[in-house]
Amino acid sequence: MIPRHRFFLCIAFVFFSCFVTQSYASSKTILVLGDSLSAEYGITRGSGWVALLEKRLKAQKKNVVVINASISGDTTSGGKLRLPALLKKYKPNIVIIELGANDGLQGLPVTSIEANFNAIVSLAKKTGARVLLLGMKMPPNYGDVYAHQFAGIYASVAKKTGSSRVPFFLEKVAENKSLFQADGVHPTEAAQPFLLNNVWLHLLNLLK
């Protein structure tokens, strides 16, 4: 017969093991597939919006791992090539796609950009991941027609694939020149909290 104190220790161990297993199993992984806007270009390491996202999630006791797979200069074509290996390695529950700006700045055809986005979203969804697209816009000097067509890509892809979308990732930043670095393209460290806030509520809906 097992002594009473050992019996209770065994019971406690079983409950603890179940709790740890359940906690581990309930954790989620967010993969950010982006370019320099998410890769902390020109700002202090750890001050970018993705790093701030990780800190906010931890502060709110959310069991979420954030993987920043952003590379400065990346395009939708590059993201499409990189994604399969990232999905296999990290098995994310949510994929945030912050791409397209470099495609637009190069004046690439809208149809090609949209096709790449559709392929990226399809790859992510095949693994069961939920997708959040971060919408971008082109500066006025690229012409009204191209700017309009480019901005429409994100809404079109989101509707076609059933993905979530942030209408404009640079909302409250784009109109404020003081929130950009000397190159006039990359947001400053002070702009990062605004970028996070633009993403936050949309992301919370996917985490529920």
**Residue 186 is among the residues annotated as catalytic for this protein:** yes
For the chain, where are the alpha helices, taking DSSP H only? 4-25, 49-59, 76-90, 101-105, 110-126, 144-161, 192-207
Which one from 35, 36, 77, 163 is the annotated catalytic residue? 36
Query: Token pair for residue 182?
Result: 């000397």
Selecting among 72, 156, 186, 202, the annotated active-site residue is: 186
169 class by beta-carbon count within 10 Å (0-12 exposed, 13-18 middle, 19+ buried): buried
The active-site residue out of 5, 26, 144, 183 is 183
Residue with tokens 């945030």: 96
What is the C-alpha radius of gyration for the chain, rounded to an integer number of angstroms? 21
Query: Phi and psi of 65, rounded to 5°?
Result: -105, 130
Cα–Cα dist 15/30, whole Å: 29
| Positions marked catalytic | 36, 183, 186
